[in-house]
Amino acid sequence: MSTPLIAVEDLRVDFGAAEVVRGIDLTVHPGECVAVVGESGSGKSVTARSLVGLAGPRSRVRAAKFEVDGRDASRFAERDWRRIRGAFAGLVLQDALGSLDPLRRVGDEIGEVLGTHRIGDRRDRAARIRGLLDDVHVPEPERRARQYPHELSGGLRQRALIASAVAGGPRLLIADEPTTALDVTVQAQILRLLDEKRAAGAALLLISHDLSVVARLADRILVLKDGVVVEQGTPGEVLGDPRDAYTRRLIAAVPSAATRGLRLSVDAQPVPAHTPDPATPVITAAGLSKRYGQHEVVRDVSFTIGRGETLGLVGESGSGKSTVAAILFGTVAPDAGTVTFAGRDWAGVRERDRRPDRRGLQFIAQDPLASFDPRYTVERIVAEAVPPGEPVRERVRELLDRVGLPSSVRDRRPVTLSGGQRQRVAIARALAPRPALVICDEPVSALDVSVQAQVLDLLADLRAADGTALLFISHDLGVVHHLADRVLVLHEGAVVEQGPVHDVFTAPRHAYTKELLAAVPSWAKAPALEEVPS
């Protein structure tokens, strides 16, 4: 067997007192794709970065064996690392909007690698940059090279970032969450591109929180938890026959068609059934349209949500999901169309006229932190939403209890809470006035799979108990398939398809829905999704 590119034994990384990586063995051979999967805090990013000597300031890296490119990296000085970076190993980070310098042209960012490692002649550098952009399938490479990152779409930016990572012709490409925050169809394209680079000879070390993303590409998967590898093997072994309890829980926690009606956080127990009543509408939207300047963001959108019903709203970024939510909530007035809530005109009226029924319609945002007053305690945040005349302290205690928060968080401020706890506080606040409808805008997108599972279970319990209707906005089709009764597919501001979630997702009629479903990374767990022709 050839010399491994990376051969690490008992890797340990600590930042002072906290040891984040606690003894990891990792080998990457030429042309291989190794995936490291774990939730936040598992040490996966630190592991990846320590392989190029970028674990961070104040970090201490130790290992029994630490070989990079066949050399002992534990003796590397800073200049040895600099020769490795960009030339032997390229690094692709999440979200190229932050990972490419926003103040510099895309072409200059790529050219920086060429200049640093003295690749090619200065005179034909522009041609080289063009060629690199062309290789990652960026159309009009010449024009794009002169643009700034913010002028490119998310997908093009990520391609440009990959172009800069492979510019030095590295034999190892380290991709840390390369598709997170991208739409599913774009994610599929980027994964294909990474696979292409692998086929061209580069080894791939893929870091992700999402098992399904890596399942397609990886030859081997390492599952990380608290800085330790708990399980490793081929995708078939790890996903099909997981040995470790944590891996099993992680897989079970992924929402999909197969998990409908079941708990995600506890193995295969049913959730209490909710009883939607589509015949009695809670809210009705008819012919909604909204344009900003020349740009039509919402076109003729109509739907109803019945009492206790969960409507999933799916679509990619820019499809108009959030604008529809804002119109329903009443913060954006539509240019045309009506919204009827609680039997009264809801859109395009003064807030004063909405006020009597305001409590009946609540909102949960993706990042609740921004919607909390940072100086308020949890108790005060929830108490503010309790209708006047009700015993505040008792209601707050009851609500926190219902969303599964210990009473000890009552006096804490939102910043000191974890992402999952914050979302629970947001749910408690939304439920306080006993709403008929809660608009949830990507409520679990920023959460780890296992935390997402708990929050989804909580929402399922609460809607069954209260009969609350939900408008559930998400880019994650699996989450919607798991939770929603009906689904509405939005594309460029228009509804392309709507109907019962199972019908739409198993027998999509519109080409866009088919495209969306085909792009969902999946493994054997979601057979329904694989029948879709691509």
Binding stretches for other proteins (CB under 8 A):
49, 52, 54, 57, 82-87, 89-91, 93-95, 98-104, 109, 112-113, 116-117, 148, 150-151, 161, 164-165, 168
Closer to other proteins by Cβ: residue 49 or 290: 49
Q: How far is the CB of 92 from other proteins (least distance, A)?
A: 8
Alpha-carbon 237 to chain mean position? 25
DSSP one-letter code for 406:
-
- Strands 277-292, 336-341: pairing is antiparallel
Q: How many CA atoms lie less than 13 Å away from 16 in the CB half-sphere?
A: 2
Q: How far is the CB of 100 from other proteins (least distance, A)?
A: 6
Strands annotated E in 355-480? 361-364, 437-441, 469-474
Closer to other proteins by Cβ: residue 34 or 87: 87
Closer to other proteins by Cβ: residue 149 or 235: 149
Q: Residue 360: in which H helix or E strand, if any?
A: none
Q: How far is the CB of 91 from other proteins (least distance, A)?
A: 4
Q: How far is the CB of 112 from other proteins (least distance, A)?
A: 6
Q: How far is the CB of 102 from other proteins (least distance, A)?
A: 6
Q: Rounded distance, CA 515 to CA 534, Å?
A: 7
Q: How far is the CB of 418 from other proteins (least distance, A)?
A: 22
What does the block give as tokens for 332?
């954006």
Q: How far is the CB of 467 from other proteins (least distance, A)?
A: 44
Sign of the dihedral through C-alpha 312, 318, 323, 324:
negative
Residue among 321, 262, 314, 317 at smallest CA distance from 477: 314
Q: How far is the CB of 251 from other proteins (least distance, A)?
A: 30
Closer to other proteins by Cβ: residue 169 or 404: 169
Closer to other proteins by Cβ: residue 135 or 379: 135
Q: How far is the CB of 158 from other proteins (least distance, A)?
A: 12
DSSP one-letter code for 270:
B
Residue among 337, 336, 390 at smallest CA distance from 359: 390
SS3 content of the chain, % helix, strand, coil (to 5): 40, 25, 35
Q: Rounded distance, CA 392 to CA 432, Å?
A: 10
Alpha-carbon 367 to chain mean position? 12
Q: Is 498 helix (H, G, I), strand (E, B) or coil?
A: strand
Closer to other proteins by Cβ: residue 147 or 338: 147
Closer to other proteins by Cβ: residue 181 or 239: 181
Closer to other proteins by Cβ: residue 142 or 151: 151
Closer to other proteins by Cβ: residue 97 or 266: 97
Q: How many CA atoms lie less than 13 Å away from 255 in the CB half-sphere?
A: 28
Q: How far is the CB of 190 from other proteins (least distance, A)?
A: 16
CA distances from 324 to 315, 386, 438, 478, 481 (A): 12, 27, 14, 21, 20
Encode burial over 56-68: b for 16+ CB neighbours within 10 A, e otherwise: eeebebebeebbb
Q: Tell me the sheet residues that pair with 439.
A: 363, 471
Residue 271: CB atoms within 10 A of its CB come to 21
Q: How far is the CB of 151 from other proteins (least distance, A)?
A: 7
Closer to other proteins by Cβ: residue 203 or 258: 203
Q: Rounded distance, CA 179 to CA 199, Å?
A: 19
Alpha-carbon 74 to chain mean position? 35
Closer to other proteins by Cβ: residue 168 or 360: 168
